[in-house]
Amino acid sequence: MKISVIETGRPPAALGDTFPDYPGMFAELLGRGLGSFEFIPIRLLDGEPLPDPRGMEAAIITGSPSGVYDDLPWICPLKAFVRAAYSAKLPVVGVCFGHQILADTLGGDVRKSPKGWGVGRHTYEVLETRDWMLGAGGSFSLVASHQDQVISAPKSAVTLARSVHTDHAMLVYRDAPFMSVQGHPEFSDSFASSLYFLRRGTIFPEAVADQAIQSLGAVPGDHALVAGWMARFLSMARP
């Protein structure tokens, strides 16, 4: 299966020599014996055009420091792509910003949360399961790094998981093979810790960053579990 990874953000430049870019992180995450996948980066930030969804096999939309409401030249084309992909029944997975852009485009409400930054290891309560969610228990934990979130889900979506911080943390859609998650299964603990430390005292208050870093050692991550869900979802959704 050829998975187009739509790059909507990049790691901070200070971390670029140490860690992969976001398409590279997804290739590492899903390339660990989970399926026969070929990853095709689409450098949206460099002006690379989005392909016609009717000629694609699957897509992942990455995280981004941008918001779905930002006036950027690639936001409107991406929303048009989401609508076209929905109509074409293209299997799509959205992560963080990708989760938000799917919800916003399809009628949900996405904005900055009054709860502030969601960072560190977050634990999500599983509300419903699907057949691709092998190994699902009552909860799962992922790295989080977001200020925006889905405040209300689209009518076509079902909320599969929530947390204390985020009511709609994992969505699946009824009329198209779309699924999305607010947390970051592709972020290693090493990358997350480096990201929090880099933003400590600037983007994140020092106490918030310190607590986020501490949480990584206190709660095990379920990144491999969620990676399996994503791989099975894309494989099972393909016609």
> 128 to each of 82, 125, 170, 182, how far by Cα in Å?
25, 9, 10, 16
146 is catalytic: no
Secondary structure of 96-143 as H, E, C letters: CHHHHHHHHHCCCEEEECCCCCEEEEEEEEECCCCCCCCCCCCEEEEE
Separation CA 64–CA 6 (nearest Å): 11
Active-site residue, selected from the candidate residues 96, 99, 146, 223: 96
- Of 25, 96, 59, nearest to 176 (Cα)? 59
Which residues are CB-neighbours of 206 under 8 A, at least 6 positions away? 200
CB environment 17-49: b (16+ within 10 A), e (fewer)? eebebbbbbbbebbbeebeebebbbbebeeeee
96 is catalytic: yes
Active-site residue, selected from the candidate residues 99, 165, 184, 223: 184
Active-site residue, selected from the candidate residues 7, 99, 146, 186: 186
223 is catalytic: no
Catalytic residue IDs: 96, 184, 186
